Amino acid sequence: MNTKPVSRRKLFPHTDPRRAGRLRVSSLHELYWEDAGPVNGIPVLGLHGGPGGGASAEMRRFFDPRHYRVVLFDQRGCGRSSPYSSLEDNTTWDLIEDIEKLRKELGIEKWLVFGGSWGSTLSLAYAVTHPERVSGLLLRGIFLLTQRELRWFYQEGASHIFPDAYDRYIAPIPEDERDNLLEAFYKRLMSDDKQARLEAARAWACWEGETLSIRGPAERPPRFDDNAFVDAFARIECHYFHNGGFFEKDGWLLDQAHILKDIPGVIVHGRYDVVTPMSSAWALHKAWPKSRLEIIPDAGHSSLEPGIVNALINATEEFQHILG
């Protein structure tokens, strides 16, 4: 029997921002932002991962540039925002206030919020804090920032699937400190010893970079070889994770899911996502009846895996009909 190969959607062509700027959000922090697409298009806020990953123009390519107005910004301490790699006044709640300041600056009443990995965490935190400003949620690689998820990825769990990458990850940490790797990395990433800090940052960042794709370490993105990037990425991530995402208790985000009851949402998650296991997406979907969960059978965590791309673009077209 002949079977035709499944045809999957491709990313939309690259587009440049229509305008860009900087927004002073505190006496210390200034954010870089970009606004692309027609001014009267469906407003979208894209929230990057990490925290500390910085916005990428690739995020715009999931949206038809003829119909969507896509706003991206670099969160505190990373990308083109300043001061770089700063942890001062850098919490989830600061970022939520920043989003509101940016929304008002751009004159947007409400927007479709798009985020993956940490971007899904921040999207959910923003949506339950300001549900009246969210027209919909498009989420990938759900990360609820629970202790269970952190233990799975940074202590033991993913280690059994990627033991080769895991050995490289733990290499900077002495054996007698490996019973709590998050704390061991935190101590080094906050250190004044620049060499120890960079060594820890490289190991921390490359562990994530090598486990993003279902194809494994060979698909590690080039930016994980950039010392400036890994310093901010690792320090900001570890800062947030050490502090439990600055949520009042473990599991707080899922407890707030009832607030999403009137918000339409699509969740896209790779079946073999090792960075953020699918159990979190499943739990969120069950707690949020208005959501639709699409499980991609041949994908890991990366937003650029073919099945993930296909599902996200189909979802943006679905939202175009709902919100247009």
Q: What does the DSSP assignment read for 270-281?
A: ETT-SSS-HHHH
Q: Say what the pLDDT of residue 8 is.
A: 92
- Residues 229 and 307 occupy one common structural domain: no
Q: Say what the pLDDT of residue 4 is.
A: 55
Q: Say what the pLDDT of residue 92 is.
A: 98
Alpha carbons 8 and 96: distance in angstroms, whole number? 35
> Which of 244, 277, 294 finishes a domain?
244
CATH assignment of the domain containing 106: 3.40.50.1820
Q: Say what the pLDDT of residue 106 is.
A: 98
- Residues 236 and 252 occupy one common structural domain: no
Q: Is this prediction's pTM over 0.95?
A: yes
Catalytic-role residue among 48, 239, 269, 301: 301
Q: Say what the pLDDT of residue 1 is.
A: 47
Alpha carbons 138 and 285: distance in angstroms, whole number? 12
Q: Dump pLDDT digits (tens) for 78-109.
A: 999 999 999 999 999 999 999 999 999 999 99
- Residues 123 and 207 occupy one common structural domain: no
> Which of 221, 244, 267 finishes a domain?
244
| Active-site annotation holds for 85 | no
- Number of folded domains that form the chain: 2
| Active-site annotation holds for 48 | no
DSSP state of 4: P
Query: Sheet holding 19-24: strands in order across?
Result: 19-24, 30-36, 68-73, 42-47, 111-117, 134-142, 265-270, 291-296
**Exposed/middle/buried for 179, CB within 10 Å: 0-12, 13-18, 19+?**
exposed
CB-CB neighbours of 1 under 10 Å: 2
End-to-end CA distance of the chain: 42
Does 12 fall in a domain? no
Catalytic-role residue among 85, 117, 120, 302: 117
- Residues 282 and 154 occupy one common structural domain: no
Cβ proximity of 94 and 80 under 8 Å: no
Does 121 fall in a domain? yes
Alpha carbons 224 and 216: distance in angstroms, whole number? 14
Extract the residue ranges of the chain whose pLDDT is less than 50: 1-2
Task: Name the residue range of residue 272's domain.
Answer: 19-146+246-323
| Active-site annotation holds for 273 | yes
Does 279 fall in a domain? yes
- Residues 317 and 204 occupy one common structural domain: no
- Residues 142 and 250 occupy one common structural domain: yes
- Residues 190 and 303 occupy one common structural domain: no
Catalytic-role residue among 35, 74, 98, 273: 273
